[in-house]
A = this chain, B = another copy of it.
Amino acid sequence: MTGAFSGWLEAVAGDAEVAARLSEARALDDMLRVEAAYARALGRTGQVPEALAEETAEAIAEFVPDRARLAQEAARDGMPVPPLVRQLKAALPPRLHKALHAGLTSQDVMDTGLVLALKDLLVLFEARLGGLGEQLDALEARFGAAPLMARTRMQAALPVAMRDRIALWSRPLVAQRARLDALRPRLLLLQLGGPVGTRGSFGEGADAIARTMAAELGLDAPGTAWHTDRSALAELGGWLSMVTGSLGKMGHDLALMAQQGVGTARLAGGGASSAMAHKVNPVGAEILMSLARFNAVQLSGLHLALEHEQERSGAAWTLEWLILPPMLIATGAALGRAAALLEAVEALGEGASGG
């Protein structure tokens, strides 16, 4: 749950806003939100006195972890929750421990925390997709009627209008928004299973706890834990890669259109060369291709992580942590780069780069 790219590379092919949402600080906040929601749910469902639960939740919400120590201990435990809970226990008076993590397992906290971040990021991605749709509509309005020689298999085919190619860029973005609507209810789910995922540790109140906790967090509550069924995350990965792949196609087209001799796109403000002052490189278009390939490659890793042996696989879970955040950042970066690229379009269609 952390950023992948930093410094100039983040500026080139990363996304500071997405990375911030996935930062360690925010991820720990998400985990604390989950712990607090659990404490409250214990109170509201009568497992512990409600006032005590509320007091615990507030103490959790205000807690500021010692991140250096947490990282050090996470190296041994393989994840941040055990040391985080130890820090919480040391900080909160023993009388509050009844409502603190008791019955939960690390995976409940980590997975639900991740889902909270995903919920926010999907809002961001959807908004950016919508913005791109508007930009494409505006380009169609300006340049849609311009003639364009269609090219199939890299060869001139038949004359079309520029709107025909713009439609090729719009279609998959609309489709990805529709897929997002279908994905959300499968993905934005509370994880609540307890040590071995059976909810046995919550007794008869399990369902009520789950519903209350989910409502508190703005998530849906499935009837069981999904701890070893990572398919919603694999599906999310596929969606991210479909988004970047769709934008990679658009970037590839624009890089081809901006070639001297083809000249069907004029782009403002491309990249400078350190050696050739006359060049204006279609950097944004190229980076869309890089990010598309990056996500296509990463997707394999998320699918490998489906193989969650027995009741919890540390090997598969850790792989997921390494793969998913960079994919999210790459997706944000591609959406941002695509907006800037469309903004830079000065002319489209045959002769666009002439006169």
Contact = CB atoms under 8 A, between A and B. Distances in A.
Interface stretch (A53-61, A134-142, A206-214, A249-257): A249-257
A5 B322 contact: yes
Interface stretch (A91-99, A121-129, A283-291): A283-291
Most chain B CB neighbours (cut-off 10 Å) among A6, A262, A309, A312:
A309
Which 6 pairs from chain A and chain B are nearest by CB? A245-B306, A7-B24, A78-B283, A296-B303, A286-B314, A152-B312
Tell me what chain A mostly uses at the interface: helix, strand, loop, or mixed.
helix
A23 B13 CA distance: 16
A242 interface: yes
A259 B246 CA distance: 23
B82 A272 contact: yes
Contacts of A179: 186, 231, 235
Contacts of A153: 78, 271, 273, 279, 281-283, 286, 312-314
A105 B11 contact: no
User: How many protomers of this protein does the assembly include?
Assistant: 4
B273 A290 contact: no
26 contacts: A2-B9, A8-B70, A8-B71, A9-B24, A9-B321, A13-B322, A76-B271, A76-B272, A78-B281, A82-B273, A82-B274, A103-B275, A104-B275, A150-B196, A152-B276, A157-B195, A157-B273, A158-B200, A160-B311, A165-B311, A231-B242, A249-B309, A282-B314, A292-B303, A296-B304, A304-B304
Given A74-B8, A286-B154, A315-B286, A303 B310 contact: no
A160 B198 contact: yes
A320 to B, nearest CB: 9
A143 interface: no
A190 interface: no
A164 interface: yes
B245 A157 contact: no
A77 B283 contact: yes
A182 B181 CA distance: 11
A317 B300 CA distance: 19
A301 B293 contact: yes
Contacts of A75: 8, 11-12
A171 to B, nearest CB: 5
Given A105-B274, A242-B234, A301 B294 contact: yes
A47 interface: no
Contact of A248 (B78, B103, B224, B306): B306
Contact of A261 (B4, B72, B262, B289): B262
Contact of A152 (B195, B249, B258, B326): B195
Contacts of A260: 149, 155-156
B77 A195 contact: no
A261 B258 contact: no
B226 A235 contact: no
A45 interface: no
Contact of A286 (B24, B78, B201, B262): B78
Contact of A224 (B167, B195, B276, B311): B167
A297 interface: yes
Contacts of A297: 297-298, 300-301, 304, 323
